[in-house]
Amino acid sequence: MNKKDLGLLILIVVVGAIVTAINPRFLLPINIANTANLVGMFGISALGEAFVIITGGIELSVGSMIALVGVLFVDFLANQNIPWPIAVALMLVLGVFIGLFHGVLVTRLKMQPFVVTLCGLLFYRGIARFYTQDSTAGFAFGQSFPDLEFITAGRSWGVPNSFIAMVILAVIMWVVLHRSVFGRYLYAVGKNEEAARYSGIKTGVVIVAAYVICQVLTVVSAIYFAMYTRSISPGSHGNFYELYAIAAAVLGGFSLRGGEGSIIGALLGVVLLQELQNLVNLLGIPSSLNFAVMGGVILLGVLIDQQWGLFRERRRIVEAARNGAATQAPAE
Amino acid sequence: MSSATAPSSAPAEPFLTLAGIRKSYPGVVALSGFSMSVKPGEVIGLVGENGAGKSTLMKVLGGVVAPDAGTIVIDGVERTALTVGDSMKAGIAFVHQELNLFDNLDVAANVYIGREPRTGGVLQLVDTDRQRQMVEPLLRRLGAGFKASTPVAALSLAQRQMVEIAKALSMNARLVILDEPTSSLPLSETAKLLDVVAGLKADGIAVIFISHRLHEIEQAADRVIVLRDGKLAGTLDKAEIEHDRMVKLMIGRDLKAQFSTPGQNAGAVAMKVIGVRTGTYPDQAASLELRSGEILGIAGLVGSGRTELARAMFGVDPIYGGSFEVAGSAFSPRHTSEAVSRGLFLVPEDRKGAGLLLDLPISQNISLPDLAKYARSFMVSGALEGKTAETQRRNLGIKAPQVTTRAATLSGGNQQKVVLAKWLAMSPRVMVFDEPTRGIDVGAKAEIYKLMRGLADAGVAVMMISSDMEEVIGVSDRIAVMHEGRISGTLNRDQFSEENVLQLAVGKPLQLEGVAP
């Protein structure tokens, strides 16, 4: 864990302590479990977004994909009677295809990621609404899928399974990003695609893979969201979720220019965002101010982080100059 | 420009005199006891290795840095330091190595940036017409072949330098300081720039010409000032200006070992380029052969298609005809990874943009092209990376505190060694160097040449693209000259001369026996 992550963790604890002091219900098991469930679901989508952001790209279609996968998945289960493991597999295949599609448009056809995924945002939302004729997709009374419901909305030892799923995925993704050869390539491509290419790295393949990972994780989170809400109105389900994911990554130290960021940072970003949501509810702040609180905190957080970084850099230089003067290095 | 030939008789009275200038930074004395004077219409060559104190001197003259001791006299007024305003008012103008021009604006707008003439009235719009009218005479004076309304994006590098000089003239400059003006210019444009310098001189404007290219200093300068370790190492008058003398003063000893002896053992053909057409010159086909154990210099004007050929060989750009052959088997790389897997490596021209990941440590830069080798069950081993990097650091003499040091903090020469190290850690068969010593100081250059020769001696086929005539002639075993996308001729060692290279570079055939067409 680097210093940046530690700072974020301290901020989370401090905010938590303040909220607890004002409203002790913050620490009730039911509140913690609810928040953990949300952290789990949003965390999975943020992990995916992180992989795209590290390449210097952006994925804006996350929220619309969550809606599209939601209506398809619920319809497959409730109306088409497709066994749920097959439905899950189909959704994952859809994710792979959409990721490939976005990745190829970005790398082979040299389109800007913002444009590609913005069109995705509009397109998938439209398809989701068309698919259900704008009506809400949901399960019929009495329909139940015990195994699926346990995996998605159940709990183990009191911990929401969505949170456990996120932790498992985060560990895998941590190894991939921070330890594997592919992870190093991601950083290299994000920092300087040209230099990576001149080192013989297949930069196009690396970037396409990032979009595929993002879409697959988005599909996983979409299934969790669908089983959590159990009814999906395609016009509003998942609205802005891509922005939560991007905000979490940025809070966690990712640079939108690419090449910077850590998995732990992104997850801490998700935790902070959900804590803020929770704070708005618990402190009786009008819920209409929800977004304003989030926007304000993200702005402050990133601002302080950058200024602190500049301050430390200046201090390091002054220190080095002093040491240099003390040892009287020979003339340049 | 009036006349570039008239020998101007510079008035005896210097308008700028520095005396006993000292400047130290914590731990480093950048300048000590430095004195010099500048007369109107005098061209002074300023040479010295990187770190000799040239940039500090420039900063003192520009008013960016105040000296700790010493005096600066301008027009008889004595000061202990200049401000930026003083410097500008005194007519001292800089043309930096990295030009500060806006590509998206026209020439006139660049000359008057920040000082735009206004239309008056409430709106105070930029008076574009007047701006252009004011710039035209300056361009005529410089003999520039472009208009004030030409977009800067359409200009060549030398023309852009003229824009900078026009900017200096528009501010009534009396001293123009050119910092490494020719380091990235092709020969033909260099000649043009030297004409402009002569013209400034004829107009009574003094010029300080900083360059690593000593031949140009020989041609242009009336007087040469050599800096070493922050001190004046010596001054050479017009008659004394000589390449070897400058080098001797710069490094404090003779440097005959700068160019290594040619290799004797050119072996089999390692790589063939057979009628290759690149995107820049699709109507021209380039062919050449590269033997293992030799250094093949590729000379030619900037824009003659040399870099494009190298990029095509390495799989960066597609080719539009012809083919390559490596070790006897045909090969047309669609991606750099295909070249790398055959042992064909490129040290690119743009060291910082394409050669290195500046934010990564040395060790991770070195391991990048062969990363899978450093992985144990998919996880990259930092220890293995460190070990290889440590070996390379010792072998190449990379000056860095640790192999975990970020590449961005290294000097140009050491950065270039890191680029080399990443390929040497694999096993090169063909190494292509594109402008390997650009912006690198004399000492580090010699080391790079030695490394290249070492590679050739070890049986690697080395191809070196260079715009530096001394380097091409001094280092190569054979020289192939490119002109507009084709090889206009190949020279063997006994045919090496600047004249021959230049003639081929402008596309004229040589009337010599034994020169391949």
Domain ranges of chain A: 3-324
Full set of structural domains in chain B with CATH: 92-171 (no CATH), 256-343+428-510 (3.40.50.300), 357-426 (no CATH)
Tell me the mean pLDDT per 10 residues along chain B, length 517.
44 81 80 90 86 83 88 89 86 81 89 85 85 90 86 85 88 88 72 86 90 82 88 88 81 56 72 91 91 92 86 92 89 91 92 90 94 88 92 89 89 90 92 89 85 91 88 90 90 85 79 51
- A interface mutation test: which of B28, B356, B406 has the most A CBs within 10 A? B28
Nearest CA-CA distance, residue B254 and chain A, Å: 21
**Contact assignment for B378 to A181 by CB distance below 8 Å:** yes
The rounded distance, in Å, linking the Cα atoms of B475 and B493 is 10
Q: How confident is the model at residue B184, as a pLDDT?
A: 65
Strands (DSSP E) contained in B318-460 are 323-326, 329-331, 344-347, 375-376, 379-380, 430-434
8 A C-beta contact, residue B128 and residue B181: no
* Among the partner residues A195, A197, A329, nearest to B356 by beta-carbon distance: A195
Indicate whether this complex's ipTM tops 0.85. no
The rounded distance, in Å, linking the Cα atoms of A157 and A147 is 17
Q: Categorise residue A165: left if φ over 0, alpha if ψ from -120 to 50, beta otherwise.
A: alpha
B51 contacts chain A (CB < 8 A): yes
User: In the beta sheet, which residues pair with residue B300?
Assistant: B482
Q: pLDDT tens digits for B78-133?
A: 988 888 888 888 889 888 776 788 888 899 999 988 888 888 788 888 888 889 99
Chain B residues close to A201, C-beta within 8 Å:
336-337, 368-369
Q: How confident is the model at residue A130, as a pLDDT?
A: 95
B405 contacts chain A (CB < 8 A): no
The rounded distance, in Å, linking the Cα atoms of B477 and B266 is 9
- A interface mutation test: which of B335, B344, B367 has the most A CBs within 10 A? B335
Nearest CA-CA distance, residue A225 and chain B, Å: 32
* Among the partner residues B27, B336, B422, nearest to A329 by beta-carbon distance: B27
Nearest CA-CA distance, residue B50 and chain A, Å: 9
Residue listed under structure tokens 């990295």: B98
Query: Which residue from B minimizes the CA distance to A190?
Result: B357
**Contact assignment for B26 to A181 by CB distance below 8 Å:** no
Chain B residues close to A197, C-beta within 8 Å:
316, 336, 354
Chain A residues close to B358, C-beta within 8 Å:
192
CATH domain A3-324 topology: ABC transporter involved in vitamin B12 uptake, BtuC (1.10.3470)
**Contact assignment for A202 to B358 by CB distance below 8 Å:** no
Nearest CA-CA distance, residue B375 and chain A, Å: 7
Q: How confident is the model at residue B8, as a pLDDT?
A: 45
Query: Which of A297, A255, A305, A254 is closest to A274 using CA atoms?
Result: A297
Q: What is the DSSP letter of B79?
A: E
| Mean pLDDT of chain A, nearest integer | 90
Higher pLDDT: B14 or A44? It is A44
B34-71 core/surface letters (b: 16 or more CB in 10 A; e: else): bebebbbbbbbbbbbbbbbbbbbbbbbbbbebebbebe
Q: pLDDT tens digits for A150-191?
A: 999 888 998 999 999 999 999 999 999 999 999 999 999 999
Q: pLDDT tens digits for A83-121?
A: 999 999 999 999 999 999 999 999 999 999 999 999 999
Higher pLDDT: A268 or B5? It is A268
Q: How confident is the model at residue B512, as a pLDDT?
A: 55
Q: How confident is the model at residue B63, as a pLDDT?
A: 87
* Among the partner residues A202, A322, A329, nearest to B337 by beta-carbon distance: A202
Angle at B51 between CA B208 and CA B216, to 5 degrees: 35
Chain B residues close to A206, C-beta within 8 Å:
none
Q: pLDDT tens digits for B34-69?
A: 999 999 989 999 988 766 788 888 889 988 888 999
Q: How confident is the model at residue B257, as a pLDDT?
A: 47
The rounded distance, in Å, linking the Cα atoms of B385 and B361 is 11
Q: How confident is the model at residue B456, as a pLDDT?
A: 92
Q: What count of CB pairs under 8 Å joins A to B?
A: 93
